[in-house]
Structures are given as structure tokens and as C-alpha cells.
Amino acid sequence: MKAEILPKERYEEYEAFVQSHPAGGFTQSVHWAGVKNNWDFAVVAVRDDKGDILGGASVLIQKIPFIGTSFLYAPRGPVCDLHDRAVMEELKRGVDLLAKERRAHVFKMDPDILMSDKDFISLTQQMGFTQIAGSLGFETIQARFNYRLYLQGRSEEELFANLTQKTRYNVRVALKRGVEIRVAGPEELDEFVRIMRVTGERDGFNVRPKAYFERFLSALGEHARLYMGYYEGKAVCGAITTNYAGKTCYVYGASDNAYRNVMPNYLIQWEMIRWAVETGCTVYDFQGVSGNITDEEDHLYGLYRFKKGFNGQLDELAGEFDFVYRPFAAQFVDTAIDAKEKLAAWKRRRALKKAAAEERAQKKAEPAAKAEEPQEPKPEA
């Protein structure tokens, strides 16, 4: 068994391994580097004595200016039997080689492993990793609480019957009202980004530029789709979804403020679940929700309630695992990132408060405007 940093001419071999592995995911695809084109990229792999790949990690590499180090990150990696100590330790030796080559201050991984998996967490601790997991689930790079629908070989009819009564009703409302869901090409990205901006303003998050979504669809090719929803010829919702290594993942979603009463968001989810069923996937991953699922007043509770209507389950993932190579550099970078994130969070909170105030003002103005409308004269008796 031996680890190596793969040359680019062997990437397709690794790609085939990731696509066929139960722990594979689209962010571990070698094509993910085409999406994250502002990062460098490398693949570390472990081979057995016959030369077959046993495990590996696609690693994004971010150069840190001024201090001359690098940040290594394996999103939803590594891809291997995560409980095989020998493979994990050899893979770590390969990462060490990459870290030395790139002067890394830290290596971060966030595998798709549950918080309840104490054996894996113990293994990482013995290997020198530090676990990072916030209570709300959004403190890490990727969401730590994912809502998932495990398909378990069920048919469309069985899955539809398994939806909550309200969700089934809303899907039927969309169908009855003539909402149309289509798989769209990149020419529809202008409308998708427009609706994403509406969503971002309403929910208080920053929206990526059109060029990012273009790279996403182009790099992942047949493994990614842009879905768009239309009502009376107008685009009212959209989603970008991946289908890779037996998993369909709802990655980006957008919904307009108009025509929400015809329930397009329910129908677009159902159509994407149908894609998962058609392609033999084992799971449909709605992706992140807040870990605070008991407070119905929380502004993120509605997202959880919507996803819960599809009658899946909430998975709490273990979070991130960091191996620090240069402690002082790591501390410096973490402090800078923390300050940047606090500023961004403050801006998001301000945007949410502004949107809420405008909504309250609009609701307050509506009765007054109605009272001022001229009344039809009553006919004389």
C-alpha cells in the first residue's frame, strides 16, 4: 500500500473510482476543480500492491498572500473506507507530502460521516486531527445538518404516497394550476440568477455571479442540471442539482416573490426527486438546514419545515477535521477569516432586518390605502 500525488494524466482513473465508490460525491470529482477555478488542485491516492486505488482525496489548494502558506481542503473527502485505519493513515502520509510541497499551514476535510460515528471520530483524534462542529450547522464551510430522503428502491408512486399530506396537496396544486418544470440550458441562467437575487435579498444571503453557475454546469456536465419552473410563461423558480455517485443533491435553489401561491417550489423538488429515482440513486439530498429545529420563530425554520414535508430524515454530520502543520500561520489566518465572517454576518442581519421592516411597513400601508380608495355610491332606495 502506497500513497502518491497523482499526475494529471491519471485523473480519469481517479474520477472513475470516485463515481463508483459509496463515499463518492460531486465535490470530490476531479471536475470540481473546473468550478473552483480560483483554487489550485491536486489528487492524493492510495494504491494497493496490485496498483488498484483503495482511497483518495481531491484537494483544493488556496494560496494565502503575505504569509506564503497554503490552505488544503478536501470537500466531503476523503473517498475510502473511512474506518480502515491503514488506508486512512497512508492517505494522511500522502497529504503530508502535498502539504510539504505547498507549504500548507492546515489540511481540512469534512467527510460525509455522522456525528454518532464515534469510531471514526476517535480514529481522527488518534491521527492528530481536531474536530470542528458548531451547534447551528452553518459555522463550518459546508452545512452540518442535511435533510435527506433515502429512496430505498421505492417507486415514484410509493415516494409520492410517503410525502406529508400537505406536501402532496401542494404538488397537486402546482400541477392543477399549470406550473411547468423544465430542464433548462445555460441560456436560462440570466433568469435563474435574477430569481436568485430576489431570494438572496429576501433571505439575507449573497448570490454568486452568473459565471460561477456557468462553470458549475459546464464542469460537471451530465452530472448537473438546471431546473426552471414557469407559470403563465414567466420563470418563477429554479434549482441547480447534481446527480453523481448514486446521490442526487439539491445544491442551489431560487424562488420569486410572485406566484408563490401556485406552489412551484414543491413541484420542482418533486421533479428532481423523480430524476433521482430514474437514475437509480440511493438518496435525494436536500442539503443544509439549521440545527435549531425546535424554535419555530427562527428565520431558518421555514426552510426545515418545507424540506420536512418530503418525509425524509435529518442527518447530523460530524463536521470538519483539521490537521495543523503551522500553528502560528493557522491562527493568523483563522483570525482574519473570523473577522471577515463576522462582518458578512452583520451585513446579512442588517439586510434581513431591513427586509422585515419593509414588509411590516407594506402590510401597515395596505389597509390605509384600501380605506382611501373611492367607494362606489350606494343606489338610492
Q: Please compute Rg for the chain using Cα positions.
A: 24
Residue 205 pLDDT? 85
Pick among 3.30.70.60, 3.30.70.260, 3.40.50.2300, 3.40.630.30: CATH of 2-142+318-345: 3.40.630.30
Per DSSP, the three-state class of 249 is strand
Q: Number of helices and strands (H, E) in the chain?
A: 11, 14
Contact 235, 228 (CB under 8 A): yes
| Topology given in CATH for the domain delimited by 152-281 | Aminopeptidase (3.40.630)
- For 51-105, the pLDDT digits (tens) are 999 999 999 999 988 888 999 999 999 999 999 999 999 999 999 999 999 999 9
Whole-number Å distance between alpha carbons of 73 and 106: 8
CA distances from 232 to 30, 190, 236, 253, 259 (A): 40, 18, 10, 20, 10
356 pLDDT above the threshold of 70: no
- Apex 96 CA angle, 92 and 102, nearest 5: 140
Whole-number Å distance between alpha carbons of 19 and 14: 9
Contact 179, 324 (CB under 8 A): no
What's the pLDDT band for 197 if we cut at 50, 70, 90? very high
- For 291-348, the pLDDT digits (tens) are 988 888 888 888 999 999 999 999 999 999 999 998 877 787 777 666 655 655 566 5
Residue 348 pLDDT? 59
369 pLDDT above the threshold of 60: no
- For 170-191, the pLDDT digits (tens) are 999 999 999 999 999 999 999 9
378 pLDDT above the threshold of 80: no
Residue 282 pLDDT? 97
Residue 379 pLDDT? 42
Phi, psi (degrees; rounded to nearest 5) at 352: -65, -40
H-run or E-run covering 92:
helix 85-102
**Mean pLDDT value across residues 252-279:** 97
**Mean pLDDT value across residues 147-155:** 97
**Mean pLDDT value across residues 250-271:** 96
**Mean pLDDT value across residues 194-207:** 91
Total length of the chain:
381
Residue 39 pLDDT? 96
Percent of the chain with pLDDT over 90: 77
What's the pLDDT band for 204 if we cut at 50, 70, 90? confident
CATH 3.40.630.30 in the chain, residue ranges: 2-142+318-345, 152-281
Higher local confidence (pLDDT), 348 or 282: 282
Mean pLDDT of the chain: 91
Residue 364 pLDDT? 72
Residue 359 pLDDT? 61
